[in-house]
Amino acid sequence: MPPALLTTSLVNTLQIGSLYALMALGITLTFSVMKLPNFAHAEFVSAGAYAALIISLAGVLNPLLIMAAAFVIGALAALLSHLLVFKPLEQRQVSFYTLILASFAIGLILRYLLFLLADSFNLFDLRIAIPLRILFRQDSLILSNLFAWAVPTSLLLVFLLTLLLNRSPLGREMRALANNPSLARVIGIPVERVKNATWLIVGGLAGVAGALWGMQTAVNPLMGWAAIISVFAAAILGGLSSFSGTILGAYVVAFSENTIMLFLNYSFSLDLAYKPAIPFIIIIAVLLIRPQGFSALLRRGGDLKR
């Protein structure tokens, strides 16, 4: 594998892995606190991307403002999903499987609402209007302004989330809820308030990830769904209960899709069209070999369940 190709693939790994991490943390948080593998998470990403697209088309080109708008819309989409669907279903004490089905249904509804929006205003396959430019170039190492936004933003948000989880009353309440919901209720933790806050954080992170993903690629109502299997693979690698494991999982998935895929293509002529199979392979391998993922290895770092 030529060094230039290796370098490019590693840069892509860092950039895409950071975005996967932002998306996957929301899934881990939802699963840990709400006990729900939320497939509507994909549409929170798409909703954030559309918020970012629309505000950028309106002339706002400050990435911070764009990401803030995406955070708000993603957070609102997640909170409304909880208040209108998940919460009433939980009150009826429906089964785990019903909640999963409900998450699929919410995802479909949100996706087709985005289709309606995109069709009405011709917003298919557009890109968030932040010009891409090279910030640093040394031989084959090229870093763009998108890299400069995506990687630090993701790392900063992950850091803030870890701080929130470990150092704030809300974080303690979230961890208590993740460990034992019944006990958390008995000891007076305001469970509904904590859940609302969790959904806001989950949706907000997904929204920001959507904004950054929309700068990397083209925005359409299916973009979140197209990424969701890779994101789930990252969360499953993290054991669905560990922040640090999820982040590591995100980079492993991105490394597999980029560097390993390019190595296999270059060395063994394996078609790049097999790239979407990689997250499936990871999910099956983890579930078969090590269902707890990286969580046991990284027990000290940002775990929700301790």
Give me Rg for the CA atoms of the chain.
19
- Scanning 67-75, 78-86, 94-102, 131-139 for contacts with another protein by CB under 8 A, the matching segment is 131-139
66 binds another protein per the rule CB under 8 A: no
Among 4, 105, 160, 281, binds another protein (CB under 8 A): 4
Distance CA 25, CA 267 (A): 34
126 binds another protein per the rule CB under 8 A: yes
Shortest spacing between CB 112 and another protein, in angstroms: 8
Shortest spacing between CB 142 and another protein, in angstroms: 6
222 binds another protein per the rule CB under 8 A: yes
- Scanning 75-83, 201-209, 217-225, 288-296 for contacts with another protein by CB under 8 A, the matching segment is 217-225
109 binds another protein per the rule CB under 8 A: no
* Alpha carbon of residue 153 to chain centroid: 13
59 binds another protein per the rule CB under 8 A: no
Among 206, 275, 293, 294, binds another protein (CB under 8 A): 275
Shortest spacing between CB 217 and another protein, in angstroms: 4
Q: State phi, psi for 137 to the nearest 5 degrees.
A: -145, 125
Q: Which is nearer to another protein, 134 or 160 (CB)?
A: 134
Residues 224-253 that bind another protein (CB under 8 A): 226-227
Token pair 């999903």 is found at 81
Shortest spacing between CB 214 and another protein, in angstroms: 10
197 binds another protein per the rule CB under 8 A: no
Q: Which is nearer to another protein, 179 or 265 (CB)?
A: 265
179 binds another protein per the rule CB under 8 A: no
DSSP secondary structure string for all residues of the chain: --HHHHHHHHHHHHHHHHHHHHHHHHHHHHHHHH----TTHHHHHHHHHHHHHHHHHTT---HHHHHHHHHHHHHHHHHHHIIIIIHHHHHTT--HHHHHHHHHHHHHHHHHHHHHHHHHTT-SSB--SPPP-EEEEETTEEEEHHHHHHHHHHHHHHHHHHHHHHHSHHHHHHHHHHH-HHHHHHTT--HHHHHHHHHHHHHHHHHHHHHHHHHHS-B-TTHHHHHHHHHHHHHHHTTTTBHHHHHHHHHHHHHIIIIIHHHHHHHH---GGGTTHHHHHHHHHHHHH-TTTTTTTTTTSSBS--
- Scanning 59-67, 69-77, 132-140, 199-207 for contacts with another protein by CB under 8 A, the matching segment is 132-140
186 binds another protein per the rule CB under 8 A: no
Count of residues near another protein by CB under 8 A: 46
* Binding footprint of another protein on the chain (CB under 8 A): 2, 4-5, 8-9, 12, 15-16, 112, 115, 118-119, 122, 124-127, 129, 131-134, 142, 144, 213, 216-218, 220-223, 226-227, 257-258, 261-262, 265-266, 271-276
